[in-house]
Structure 1
Amino acid sequence: MSDIIIREARAGELPALLAFEQGIIEAERPFDETFVSGDFHYYNLEVMIANEQAAVIVAELNGELIGSGNARIMPARPYNHFKQYAFLGFMYVQPAHRGKGINSMIIAELVRWAYSKGLYEVRLQVYAENAPAIAAYEKVGFKKHLTEMRLSTDAPVRQ
């Protein structure tokens, strides 16, 4: 994997990045019944690429983008012992390149970026049923922290 280049994304790469975003959404659609049908966006990638408070990182192989990730500086809760943290998202590797450590390389670069910004806490969200993603994040050192739960108000409350 020494031919893989991990670098910051460029504005001209927006079409490929938007395709990655739709790949993420399609992969996550089975885990979230609240998604609207059709295309939508999680991120404003164009703004994030230009923002000093965010990093959009890509993995490139032979001139082709094969993966991505981003980090954003987020304010911590008043009860945390840190003021800000890095929140990761936009984690995507093309299916043909999965299982090769590319996600780990992208995360390592995002963690370096966070550290360079004086951030010592990195967080992300993942669907509880997305076992492959959870395994990939645990492999690089993430630990489960909090579970968000939901209930639709049109469902009966069990007693």
Structure 2
Amino acid sequence: MNRNDDILIRPVQLADVESFHGYSQVVAHERRYWGKTEPRTLAELHDWIGAAVQRGTPFLVAMDGQTLVGDAHLVVPRLEGHTHLGALGMGLLPAYRGRGLGLSLLTAVVTAGWSFGLSRIELQAYGSNTLAIALYERFGFRHEGRRRHARFLDGEYDDAVLMSLLRDEVFA
């Protein structure tokens, strides 16, 4: 049974800035999953989302009615020699975790990344985020390395786990 029947995954829109701000406050203030412990300001979000919309880079949101409950996006560098890759970022509000929505978002953003012309999708997850790492492994991401004690927050160290997915391996 798909418990996400009422969740719409769609491309982000500039009109989502305020909803995204509210969502990002919750996830950032958990101080666990994202590198940022404070969300972007409304002005920063307007610029960031506006640039993604204008450039057409994969940036998806999960909507439960009018409520933004998660996102998955790929940051694509403009640096020559690096435009083939996208760095994955994603998140979900706590009440929406463990329902299969992460897999749906991941599938949608990876598909969008391949359609955008990317051949590599990479990510960094904190070692303590074992559920996300397990999701990425099941999806086919491979471990590339580990940055030991990469973060020191609230009196604890956490490693950064580096993973990637190559289009050539997926479609071999």
TM-score interval for Structure 1 and Structure 2 normalised by the shorter chain:
0.7 to 0.9
CA distance in 2, matches of 1:149, 1:102: 29
Equivalence for 1:59: 62
Deviation track 1:133-153 (CA, whole Å, cap 9, x = no partner) reads 21222232222211123589x
Normalised by the length of structure 1, the TM-score is 0.72
Higher RCO (CA < 8 A, seq sep 6+) = 1
Indicate the percent of aligned positions where both proteins have the same amino acid.
24
Structure 2: any 5+ residue segments left out of the alignment? 152-172
Superposition CA RMSD, Å? 3.2
Partner Cα separation in structure 2 for residue 119 and residue 110 of structure 1:
11
Larger radius of gyration: 1
CA distance in 1, matches of 2:73, 2:150: 30
Alignment of 1:137-156 (within 5 A): 137-150=136-149
What count of residue pairs does the alignment treat as equivalent?
A: 144
Task: Give the structure with the higher percent strand.
Answer: 2
Q: Which runs of 5+ in 1 are unaligned?
A: 153-159
Which residue in 2 is equivalent to 1:92? Answer: 91
Of the three residues 74, 77, 85, the one matched with 1:74 is 77
Corresponding residue of 2:18 = 15
TM-score, length-normalised on structure 2?
0.68
Alpha-carbon distance in structure 2 between the residues aligned to 1:40 and 1:67: 14
Seen in structure 2, the aligned counterparts of structure 1 residues 86 and 50 have a Cα distance that, compared at 3 Å, is same
**Which residue identity does 2:26 align to in structure 1?**
G
